[in-house]
A and B are shown apart, each in its own frame.
Chain A
Amino acid sequence: MDVPRTVTVALADRPVEGSRCLEAGAGVGSTTAGLLDAGANRVYAITNDRGHAQSTRERVGPERGQSAAANGKRSGADDRLAVLEADLRAIPLPDESVDLITAHGLCNVLDPPALSRIVDELHRVAAPGSHLIVDDYDPLPDDAAVRDLFAVENAASELATGRSALTFYPSSFLRDLFVGEGWAFDRERTLLDPVPWTASHLSAHADAAASFAVNCPDDVGELLAANADRLAAEIDTESAGRMYSLAFRVPTGQSRRRQGRP
């Protein structure tokens, strides 16, 4: 599969080759494919979404066959990929067991309590000297039309589940959060400026809003779903906001246990 430039650029200055990697939030497998292409020794692609797990297996797993990338590296997954259906708040891997963690477009689908627990868990499985890449979106500018669609999606999600579907954390916020957890900040770079929200993105968000709306009380859900559809159709496409990439390391010799945490 085609590995997005956002992924290759984020991975470019990290030691992926030969590493044990954890892709936190597998999505449709783009970052997993990027890690395998870049020569990862092992990739654990973790997601709690059955559909995403399946997509990743289909698109990146052995089913897509062995092929040599232009750089001569293997892109076939063979025995290097494990797609795990699991909750990132309880990662089914031992302490200090991975060398490189990627969270590509993950944090924006986590509300603060979930984010906090996952940050903790990522630090637990990270080996001393390991690397972390966090790629996400800055909050959208006030005049971005897509904000309205995301607001409707969040409203439906809040009513249905009691929590927000989307939270756009500023890069400085995530930087401070991970540094507070013991990661050493390494670098920040801009991946996309502006971020293209394509018609298929927007329609996926309208669908998400509709799926929350089903569980909203009274006829509020129907109104929200209709609003989401209308906004997605009206906006069609928009380029707005910024996607950034943060890179961190666990200082060598520093482990969770040595920090005396529980």
Chain B
Amino acid sequence: METRPLGKTGHDSTVMTFGAIALNWLEQEGANQMVEHVLEYGVNHFDVAPTYGDAELKLGPKLRQHREEIFLGCKTGKRDYEGAWKRLEQSLDRLGVEKIDLYQVHGLEYDEELDEITGDGGALEAFREAKAEGLIDHIGLTSHSRPNLILDAIDRIDDLESVMFPLNPVVAGKDDDTHDYEAVLRRANEENIGTLGIKAFAAGSWPDTDDVPERDRPFCNWYRPVCSPDEIRDRFDFAASQGLTSVVSAGDPKLVTMILEAAADYDGLDEAAQRSLIEAARHDDSPVPEQLHH
């Protein structure tokens, strides 16, 4: 599988990152098989979070077995120093590893949060101490909120080495500032910051829970995903061709193999075909950034 430099980290990430939230929906045996399956395709970048149910715990055994093959991303939604330290220690403990390769500020949504994270007693102080102690190697940030806020974060966090944000043909077809994640991509590439694409497979929001209760949704994703092999391939090819370092797989285990296949076969997508996908989705609703919490 193709690899690309993850910004200045010195790591070459595979063009697909495994979103380990998928493990949350599996029993331990299935989770083990899933990790082996993903590794067989050559995927070397995994991403997990303490908020993904017990995905950290289920990732643990195979992660420890294959620690050298996996570049591990994890994250915290805590904004303050103490909270971030506690959450980092908890993740290290639950994953059962000595070090997290990329530790990320998770789900940045509001200006005030960025103030807190970057201020005295903020989460970044904890991140930097942890980096000095060798508990983490690199600092990143994730958000599916306003692109302008991510740009602010890039301005204000000098040691930021990766950003994770939504990118798909639906948001690419919208002109307004609230969907301009392409500006984030451009800026990150200019600054040599690694870029991880989420929501590549988002087709739209789920119907209201009154119409389709969460338990009746056919996929364990907080958005409605595309789900045929051709659509998955188109979406993967689109995201990978935009210049992202890596495309994060969707959360539902049923989609993972199709995404692996698409990633393994990826060999570029010309501009006319990229525009075709944008045009086909031009009137679709985007599940980002309106629906922020998941």
Contact = CB atoms under 8 A, between A and B. Distances in A.
Interface of A: 1-6, 9, 69-70, 190-196, 198, 200, 237, 239, 242
B276 A193 contact: yes
A213 B104 CA distance: 61
A2 B175 CA distance: 5
Contacts of B273: 193-194
Contacts, number: 50
A70 B273 CA distance: 25
Given A191-B272, A191-B275, A192-B272, A5 B173 contact: yes
B275 A5 contact: yes
B293 interface: no
Nearest to B175: A2
Nearest to A9: B275
A2 B276 contact: no
Contacts of A4: 173, 278-279, 282
Given A192-B276, A239-B276, A239-B280, 16 more contacts: A2-B175, A2-B282, A5-B275, A6-B275, A9-B271, A9-B275, A70-B175, A70-B180, A190-B272, A193-B273, A194-B273, A195-B279, A196-B276, A196-B277, A200-B283, A237-B280
B177 interface: yes
Contacts of B278: 4-5
A2 B272 contact: no
B276 A195 contact: yes
B283 A196 contact: no
B279 A193 contact: no
B97 interface: no
Nearest to B277: A196
Nearest to A33: B175
B272 A193 contact: yes
Nearest to A192: B276
Nearest to B284: A198
A178 B271 CA distance: 27
10 nearest A-B pairs in the assembled complex, by CB-CB distance: A196-B280, A193-B272, A190-B272, A5-B275, A2-B175, A192-B276, A5-B278, A196-B279, A2-B174, A196-B276
A192 B177 CA distance: 25
Contacts of B212: none
B43 to A, nearest CB: 29
Nearest to A196: B280
B183 interface: yes
Contacts of A1: 175
B173 A2 contact: yes
Interface in B6-37: none
Nearest to A68: B177
A239 B281 CA distance: 12
Contacts of B177: 70
A232 B262 CA distance: 30
Contacts of A9: 271, 275
Contacts of A196: 276-277, 279-280
A6 B280 CA distance: 12
Given A69-B175, A191-B272, A6 B180 contact: no
A242 B275 CA distance: 12
A173 B237 CA distance: 33
A69 B180 CA distance: 11
Nearest to A189: B272
Interface in B247-293: 270-273, 275-280, 282-283
A191 B177 CA distance: 24
A43 to B, nearest CB: 17
A196 B279 CA distance: 7
Contacts of A190: 272
Contacts of B272: 190-193, 242
Contact of B279 (A5, A69, A242): A5
Nearest to A197: B280
A192 B169 CA distance: 14
Interface in B128-176: 173-176
Contacts of A200: 283
A198 B173 contact: no
Nearest to A194: B276
Interface string B167-198: 00000011111001001000000000000000
A1 B175 CA distance: 8
